[in-house]
């Protein structure tokens, strides 16, 4: 199973001299060798270059795109994903159903004028939209995708990709599970963390955390939202993101030995990411990677 990072940022693309080395595109990962088809996780701006490559090399006909949630940084590359405009492809979208908001709505509601000149009716590919329920599995040729609900405003979904004897888990975007539940109603300002969690939220937080730990358990690699450092989290815990310590805690509990720090803050410069890489280079009993644009990790070569 080969995992290639096409976009590693959260929130907004940040091209420019400060992000030249680690990359400025928003969240998108491609996975090859997990079954017969191409898998794509999220459709941030990083998806554009995969599209160009797919048009050129004609290696895949079927593409499965899993969308964690509808925030801009996870869908904003889609209008420029060329295979959608080609009849040579069959493209499946998957996302969790939220209230009466379906997978199709995530895309069709912004893929139209005045936001963009084309609508989904202009796509030439054969497109299928699949609503999924976190906690249930999706089977595609040669690969199983399991999921769990994350702690994020308007909910996000973690995906575990299992094929043959390899698996990786994609966990973005999520807050940790020790302070508050973030869901439909956006918390507009930072709450006082010393009074959290509220008694009525504690059991649900514990359940959400154990579902995620179970999803990650014994997997070969976990890719985790680490947009925050500790000071960022203390300032904005209601934004729904984690720190490397939160990610490490989940990996330890789930018996995972390889972690990829992902969904970097747009404010994190190349220099800052170099320091993070160095800080975690010799972490005991855990191999920590920092996601860099166009980095490929091959689970058949990386070992525990």
Decide whether 71 or 92 has the Cβ nearer to Zn ion: 71
Whether the Cβ atoms of residue 116 and residue 107 lie closer than 8 Å to each other: no
Identify which of residues 73 and 220 has a Cβ nearer to Zn ion in the complex.
73
Note the residue count of the chain: 304
**Which one among 6, 9, 71, 268 touches Zn ion, defined by CB under 5 A?**
71
Whichever of 49 and 172 has its CB closer to Zn ion, that residue is 172
Closest CA to 264 of 21, 69, 3, 66: 21
Window of 65-73, 248-256, 268-276, 285-293 that interacts with Zn ion by CB under 5 A: 65-73
CB of residue 126 to Zn ion, shortest distance in Å: 29
* CB 223 to Zn ion: min, Å: 13
| Cβ-based nearer residue to Zn ion, 71 or 179 | 71
CB of 172 to Zn ion, least distance (A): 6
What is the number of the residue whose Cβ is closest to Zn ion? Answer: 71
Residues numbered 151 to 190 that lie near Zn ion (CB under 5 A) are 173
Tell me: does residue 77 bind Zn ion (CB under 5 A): no
Contacting range for Zn ion; rule: CB under 5 A; set: 71-79, 117-125, 204-212, 265-273: 71-79
In the sheet with 258-262, reading across from the earlier edge strand, the strands are 138-140, 143-149, 157-163, 166-171, 221-225, 258-262, 287-290
Those residues with Cβ within 8 angstroms of residue 21's Cβ, 6 or more apart along the chain or in another chain: 270, 273, 274, 292
Interface pick for Zn ion out of 1, 8, 10, 64 (rule CB under 5 A): 10
Does residue 42 bind Zn ion (CB under 5 A)?
Answer: no
Per rule CB under 5 A, is residue 73 in the interface with Zn ion?
A: yes
Rounded to 10 deg, the angle between the 244-253 and 202-216 helix axes is 70
Contact between 28 and 45 under an 8 Å Cβ cutoff? The reply is yes
Question: Which residue is it, tokens 């680490």?
Answer: 226
Report, in Å, the least distance between residue 298 CB and Zn ion: 26
Q: Residues touching Zn ion: how many (CB under 5 A)?
A: 4
Q: In what order do the strands lie in the sheet with 2-7?
A: 126-132, 90-96, 62-66, 38-41, 28-32, 2-7, 296-298
Provide the binding-site residues for Zn ion, judged by CB under 5 A: 10, 71, 73, 173
């Amino acid at each position: 199973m080969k995992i290639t990072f096409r976009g590693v940022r959260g929130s907004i693309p940040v091209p420019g001299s400060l992000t030249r080395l680690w990359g400025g595109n928003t969240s998108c990962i491609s996975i090859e060798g997990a079954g017969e088809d191409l898998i794509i996780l999220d459709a941030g701006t990083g998806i554009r270059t995969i599209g160009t490559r797919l048009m050129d090399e004609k290696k895949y006909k079927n593409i499965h795109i899993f969308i964690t949630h509808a925030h801009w940084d996870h869908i904003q590359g889609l209008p420029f994903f060329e295979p959608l405009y080609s009849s040579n492809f069959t493209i499946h979208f998957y996302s969790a159903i939220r209230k009466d908001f379906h997978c199709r709505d995530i895309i069709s509601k912004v893929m139209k004028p005045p936001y963009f000149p084309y609508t989904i009716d202009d796509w030439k590919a054969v497109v299928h939209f699949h609503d999924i329920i976190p906690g249930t599995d999706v089977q595609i040729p040669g690969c199983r995708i399991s999921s769990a609900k994350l702690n994020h405003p308007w909910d996000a979904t973690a995906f575990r990709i299992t094929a043959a004897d390899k698996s990786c888990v994609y966990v973005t975007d999520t807050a940790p599970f020790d302070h508050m539940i973030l869901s439909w109603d956006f918390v507009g300002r930072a709450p006082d963390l010393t009074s959290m969690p509220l008694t009525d939220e504690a059991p649900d937080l514990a359940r959400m955390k154990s579902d995620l730990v179970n999803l990650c358990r014994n997997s070969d690699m976990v890719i985790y939202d680490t947009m925050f450092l500790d000071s960022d989290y203390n300032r904005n815990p209601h934004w729904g993101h984690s720190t490397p310590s939160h990610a490490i805690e989940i990996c330890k509990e789930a018996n995972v030995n390889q972690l990829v720090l992902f969904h970097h803050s747009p404010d994190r410069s190349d220099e800052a990411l170099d320091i993070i890489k160095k800080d975690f280079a010799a972490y005991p009993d855990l191999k920590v990677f920092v996601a860099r644009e166009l980095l490929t990790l091959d689970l058949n070569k990386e070992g525990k």
